[in-house]
Structure 1
Amino acid sequence: MNIFQAVKENVTARQAAEQYGLKVNKNGMVCCPFHDDRHPSMKVDKGFCCFACGAKGDVITFVADFFHLAPLEAAKKLAEDFQIPFFIDNAKKRNVSKKKEKPKRTLYQTEKKFEEWERESIRILSDYLHLLEEWKVSHAPKMPDEEWKAEFIEACQQTEKINYYLDLLVFGELQDRIEFLLDSGKDVKRIEERMEEYRRNNKEQTGKSIGSEGNEL
């Protein structure tokens, strides 16, 4: 087992984030350290993904980007900080030093269309999840006998499913993500249309309300 395997089998991106001073909330969200993030937009678990700037990868990528290190140096730092024993054969060390690392994004560049769809889907689902969480608070019944509003019902019904979709797209295997595209791509599009319709109606209602107040004056 090489150092990369040893580290990834023993440390998660969430553990690394907490180790290096980032505050992770109970939902596994944290303010992204790779852009000016004012509210938590990065999810950390085994790996990490920022729904705002698109940064994603495994625990070694996270530490490499966080401390501006080469992947090997990041792996060594994790092994030392988390006290993970590892062994690298001297011959392998020489071979590694002679080889140039291939950019990790090469595979994604060859699958540009899928990558664009995946990023867009993550953005849509993340926006929808924020909206659902907002509805759970703003449209929650104030009294026990109060009738539940449609937005509150939708938030209760959809939050768990959308969290599952995001986890699959962020941390799932490539084949699972491709199958999600084939099976649920239309669902994501409908969610986007649903949000656009809600925001349009909300904007119209706000405009009418302001107009009514103006007439009264």
Structure 2
Amino acid sequence: MNIFEAVKENVTARQAAEMYGIRVNRNGMACCPFHDDRYPSMKVDKRFHCFGCQADGDVIDFAARLYGLNNLGAAMKLTSDFGISYDNKGRASPRPVKKKISEELRLKQAELQCCRILSEYNHLLGKWKTEYAPETLGEEWHPLFVEALQKQTYTEYLLDTLLAGTTEEKAAIVKEHGKEVIRIGERISGLVARHKAGRDEHSRLAPTGTDGR
């Protein structure tokens, strides 16, 4: 069993996605890390496939895309992160021993989580800026419109740093703003849940036809 076979035998694309900080829901769907994905469009199981950008492959392809590695580099990273031992001829043990997640990996997971939350928040801010914009000069400004004006430029700065900054700059964002971003994520989840509950209630009360049936 060579290194590629050993990795694919022991690690699924879903396990790798979750290890690297990507949240996968109970249906095996996740926001694709390979394009600007606001809603889950990537199916992750033994393999992965994105219905948005068409990215597709096995666990090695996934790690290679995520970290910009060739297949050998991706396989070596997976063996390291999942504790799969192999010798200098590329032969690997089929039974990995999962080791403690390294500090580097924890940081990468935190970066991905912050990036996902801030992307969703930035999308909401843009939506609020349009939907809640005052229609007349004397109209009182909606709190969500005010928040969009105050927070969007700052949020875009944090996102840009997480996407294109140096390793040190990304680490600083996570260290200095991580807790703040987590609170934003919790708030977004609450807003989405309330919106869904209101929509479901409206659908339940609305008539299905002109005769009320």
TM-score for the superposition, normalised by structure 1: 0.49
Q: 1:163 to 1:54 in 2, by over 3 A?
A: farther
Q: Is 2:147 the counterpart of 1:154? A: yes
Deviation at 1:213, TM superposition (A): 2.9
Q: 1:31 to 1:195 in 2, by over 3 A?
A: closer
Single out whichever of 113-122 and 138-147 deviates more from structure 2: 138-147
Check conservation: 2:129, 2:148, Cα contact below 8 A. yes
201, 205, 209: which one aligns with 2:202: 209
Deviation at 1:209, TM superposition (A): 2.6
155, 165, 171: which one aligns with 1:172: 165
Q: Tell me the distance in 2 between the aligned counterparts of 1:145 and 1:54.
A: 55
Q: 1:163 to 1:173 in 2, by over 3 A?
A: same
Check conservation: 1:118, 1:169, Cα contact below 8 A. yes
Per the alignment, residue 181 of structure 1 pairs with 174
Q: Tell me the distance in 1 between the aligned counterparts of 2:65 and 2:142.
A: 36
Per the alignment, residue 81 of structure 1 pairs with none
Per the alignment, residue 94 of structure 1 pairs with none
Q: Tell me the distance in 1 between the aligned counterparts of 2:108 and 2:64.
A: 11
Per the alignment, residue 112 of structure 2 pairs with 119
- One-letter code of the match for 1:175? E
Q: Is 2:123 the counterpart of 1:130? A: yes
- One-letter code of the match for 2:173? F
Higher helix proportion (structure 1 or 2): 1
Aligned residues: 132
Where do 5+ consecutive residues of structure 1 fail to align? 1-29, 39-52, 71-100
Q: Is 2:184 the counterpart of 1:191? A: yes
SS of structure 1 residue aligned to 2:127: helix
- One-letter code of the match for 2:107? F
Q: Tell me the distance in 1 between the aligned counterparts of 2:142 and 2:177.
A: 27
Single out whichever of 109-118 and 157-166 deviates more from structure 2: 109-118
Q: 1:128 to 1:31 in 2, by over 3 A?
A: closer
Deviations 1:79-122 (CA, angstroms, capped at 9, x unpaired): xxxxxxxxxxxxxxxxxxxxxx966x95x966221111111111
* Runs of 4+ more than 6 Å apart: none
Q: Tell me the distance in 2 between the aligned counterparts of 1:167 and 1:173.
A: 11
Q: 1:54 to 1:198 in 2, by over 3 A?
A: farther
What are the within-5 Å matches in structure 2 for residues 15-164 of structure 1?
37=52, 111-164=104-157
Check conservation: 2:114, 2:174, Cα contact below 8 A. no
Check conservation: 1:31, 1:37, Cα contact below 8 A. no
Deviation at 1:153, TM superposition (A): 1.4
TM-score for the superposition, normalised by structure 2: 0.50
Deviation at 1:37, TM superposition (A): 4.3
